[in-house]
Amino acid sequence: MTLSEAPAFTAPEAIAAFYMEEMRHKEQEEMHLMILNTKQRLIRDILLFRGTFNHSPASPREIFIEALRYQRPEPDVPAKPDVTEKSSASPE
């Protein structure tokens, strides 16, 4: 599936439907990290932790580190101008 074919996750129900069938039969809890682009399409699904029957230990540090690996601008999204820079043509 290409990025343009990936479903857009615009509501919690869409995320639940995406995982429901696969995860309902698991014997262990799993914690996944969904990396989405700015159009809310799935870039990557990462299994972060696998726990016990009813518990999955989640480390905020590990979640943050993994998310930072994918924080980069997309090629089709124009860069936002830096509003903190002063214009050289400012009125006097």
pLDDT digits over 41-92, tens only?
988 899 988 887 777 777 888 888 888 887 765 555 555 554 454 444 545 4
Distance CA 92, CA 90 (A): 6
Q: Residue 48 in contact with residue 62, Cβ under 8 Å?
A: yes
Question: Tokens standing for 15?
Answer: 């995320």
pLDDT tens readout for residues 2-50: 656 777 899 999 999 999 988 888 888 888 999 888 889 988 899 988 8
Nearest to 75 by CA among 12, 4, 5, 25: 4
Helix (H) or strand (E) holding 30: strand 30-36
Give the global pTM.
Answer: 0.63
Question: Tokens standing for 73?
Answer: 């601008």
